[in-house]
Amino acid sequence: MHRVPASYRPSAPGDWSELADGLVEASDLKATKRQRGAFYGTDLDLQLRRRGVTTVVIGGIATNMGVESTARTAHEHGYAVVLAEDAATSLSAEMHAFAFEHIFPHLGRVAKADEIEI
Helix-, strand-, coil-residue percentages of the chain, each rounded to 5 = 35, 15, 50
Burial-class residue 68 by CB neighbours within 10 Å (0-12, 13-18, 19+): buried
* pLDDT tens, residue by residue, 68-84: 999 999 999 999 999 99
* pLDDT tens, residue by residue, 25-72: 888 887 888 889 999 999 999 999 999 999 999 998 889 899 999 999
